[in-house]
Chain A
Amino acid sequence: MFSAGMNANQLRDCLLNLPPLELLGMTLLQSNPHAGFFPSDVPRETLKTAVVEMIDYGERCQHAAQRLSKLTPVPITTIDLWEYAL
């Protein structure tokens, strides 16, 4: 599959082996188990860093999604789909 010689299963395994995402916002939530839904005693600078990181992460995700939606179609020449033949 593709020029890297990787098939779909290998690509899936590769993605699943990526290290877990670590965002400061998630760390703050996990490290304040008794703070309810929204911790209120987080230092302001830490909070600012977490907000900026989350906004940046969200925009990178959106950008990646937009790029994926505009990928050039890949012609499949090695598979015969007789049921869709004209």
Chain B
Amino acid sequence: MNDLVVLQQALAHTINADPVLCLAHAVAWLDPLHGELDDMDMPESEHDTVLVALHILRRAFPEIYFDALQAIRQGASYQRLDHLICDAVQAQGIPLDNLEWIGWGIPLPAYGALLDDPDFYTTHPDVIPVLECFGISPQPNPYNIVIPDVTYKVADIIADDLLKQPENYWRQVAWLIRWVTSSTNNSCVDWDEEMMSSVQPLSWDADDIAFAREIVEEADGIMADVHAGLTWISQNPTSLEVLSRNVQKIYQTKGQKNARYQLEWSCPTQRDERGTQSVA
């Protein structure tokens, strides 16, 4: 055995034989960052960012904190630490994509749809046929899109009714409608990034982490339904016609007191023939 290794072991053995030195050794090994972080407005270097991250992880995710400490001891680069910490935090259900953001609070996704923003129609062209059922279209003046309140009310009635349907695909379409009208009651689904960044982020306290996990998990579930509903209705033109017909029924009763209408939803079980033909 190397003399230096023997010396190191002897030194460690001597240190650990003394209770106070052993305690100091254990602190150096397991929690070298003990103590409060001085106020730091904004990390100005990668070193500061790592320091802030370690202080947050120490309380929020002790096992990730220790993994990061181990990596630092092994000489890990900033990029390696960034990947290690972000991947580990993501595995805990928190969507941290960049270590620089950790100091701002818990990052939350923002999937919100902005119907009065022309860019929305450019980035989501597949949603346009569904919106057209409600009379929403970016044409002819894409820079002055105003969605009347009644459209949101009609969408709400339609979504409520669809959620009562036994067929899963109609319920998924309901979530699609709720997403485009920002009425899911889940902030991650209803808010766009601008709105999300305007509110105080959640802290890294245990309660806030639990809440963030819950809201992100729910948002992911809703968005999965949104995408499934969009895929299904895009492949079934008949279902679009059914949706449009029911929307018109409600529009026709606009202004009538005690208006009564019966919404009817057909049950196409697979991609209908026209959809198949158009794909072929």
Instruction: Please determine whether B29 and A25 come into contact, CB atoms closer than 8 angstroms.
Output: yes
For residue A75, CB closer than 8 A to chain B, the reply is no
Give Cα A20–Cα B17 distance, bound, in whole angstroms: 13
Residues of B within 8 A of A36 (CB): 5, 8-9, 12
**Residues of the B chain whose Cβ atoms lie less than 8 Å from the Cβ of A28:** 26
With both beta carbons as reference points, the residue of chain B lying nearest to A48 in the complex is identified as B63
Which residues does chain B contribute within 8 Å of A47, judged by CB atoms?
63, 66
A34 lies within 8 A of chain B by Cβ: yes
Contact yes or no, B30 A33, CB < 8 A? no
List residues of B (38-66) whose CB comes within 8 Å of A's CBs.
58-59, 62-63, 65-66
List residues of chain B with CB within 8 A of the CB of A44: 63
Q: Whole-angstrom distance from the CB of A74 to the nearest CB of chain B?
A: 28
Closest CB of chain B to A53's CB: distance in Å? 8
Interface check B146, CB cutoff 8 A: no
Most buried by A among B5, B8, B17, B27: B27
Indicate whether A37 sits within 8 Å of B8 (C-beta atoms), given known contacts A26-B23, A51-B66, A54-B27. yes
Q: Total number of A-B contacts with CB less than 8 angstroms?
A: 74
A55/B22 contact (C-beta < 8 A), A30-B16, A37-B8, A37-B12 known = no
Q: Within A27-62, which residues are at the interface with B (CB < 8 Å)?
A: 28-30, 33-38, 44, 47-48, 50-52, 54-55, 58-59, 62
Cβ-neighbour of B63 out of A38, A51, A62 (below 8 A): A51
Given A37-B12, A48-B66, A62-B35, does the pair A29, B19 have CB atoms closer than 8 Å?
no
Number of interface residues of A (CB under 8 A): 25
Interchain CB contact under 8 A, B34 and A55: yes
Query: Does A21 touch B at the CB level, under 8 Å?
Result: yes
**B30 proximity list for chain A (CB < 8 A):** 25, 50-51, 54-55
Interface centre among B27, B31, B58, by most chain A C-beta atoms within 10 angstroms, is: B31
Q: What residues of B have a CB within 8 angstroms of the CB of A35 in the complex?
A: 12
Q: Interface majority SS on A: helix, strand, loop or mixed?
A: helix
Is B260 part of the contact surface with A, judged by Cβ < 8 Å?
Answer: no
Is B25 close to A, CB under 8 A?
yes
In the complex, which residues of chain B have a beta carbon less than 8 angstroms from the beta carbon of A52?
Answer: 62
Q: Is the CB of B31 within 8 A of A54?
A: yes
Q: Does B80 contact A (CB under 8 A)?
A: no
Give chain A residues whose Cβ lies under 8 Å from the Cβ of B63.
44, 47-48, 51
Q: Is B124 an interface residue (CB 8 A)?
A: no
Question: B13 on the interface (CB 8 Å rule)?
Answer: yes
Contact B31 A51 (CB under 8 A): yes
Query: Counting CB contacts under 8 A, is B73 at the interface?
Result: yes
Interface string of B200-211 (1 = CB under 8 A from A): 000000000000
A33, A55, A59 pick with most chain B CB within 10 angstroms: A55
**Shortest Cβ distance from residue B74 to the other chain A in the assembled complex, whole angstroms:** 10
Q: Could you write out 5 A-B pairs with CB less than 8 Å apart?
A: A30-B22, A33-B9, A50-B30, A51-B30, A55-B30
8 pairs of A and B residues whose beta carbons are closest in the complex: A25-B26, A58-B34, A54-B30, A48-B63, A54-B31, A51-B62, A25-B30, A26-B26
Instruction: Point out residues on A near B: beta carbons under 8 Å.
Output: 20-21, 23, 25-26, 28-30, 33-38, 44, 47-48, 50-52, 54-55, 58-59, 62
Can you add 4 more A-B contacts, CB < 8 Å, to A36-B5, A37-B8, A38-B73? A25-B26, A29-B12, A30-B16, A33-B9
